[in-house]
Amino acid sequence: MGVRQVFGANLRRFRHAKGLSQEGLAYEASVNRTYMSKLEKGETFVGLEIIGKLAKVLEVEAAELLKPPPERVRKKSS
């Protein structure tokens, strides 16, 4: 998973956790809704200023948006 895809997945996860639509998050962060969609899909690069705006609205540290998802733990078969 590339950094854009990681960012997009985290952005979507935190947005859903806050109960925001893409349009609502875009409005609160003062970014274009179409751009927001492309970010969540991992289709475009994001600048540090935008990461900061999104993190502030989502009430998370900016670094949380860039963290890869934890490895899934395999269940041991008996």
Give 24-77 pLDDT, tens digit per residue: 999 999 999 999 999 999 999 999 999 999 999 999 999 999 999 777 655 555
pLDDT for res 26: 96
Written as six digits, the tokens of 59 are: 């009430």
Q: Which pLDDT value is given to residue 70?
A: 75
d(CA 38, CA 64) in angstroms, rounded, equals 19
Closest to 29 (Cα-Cα) out of 66, 59, 68 = 59
Query: What single letter denotes the amino acid at residue 5?
Result: Q
Token duo for residue 17: 């956790």
pLDDT for the residue numbered 25: 97
Taking 60 as the threshold, does the pLDDT of residue 21 lie above it?
A: yes
Residue 73: per-residue pLDDT: 52
Sketch out the chain's domains with CATH numbers. Answer: 3-64 (1.10.260.40)
Listed in sequence order, the DSSP H helices in 1-78 are: 3-18, 22-29, 33-41, 48-58
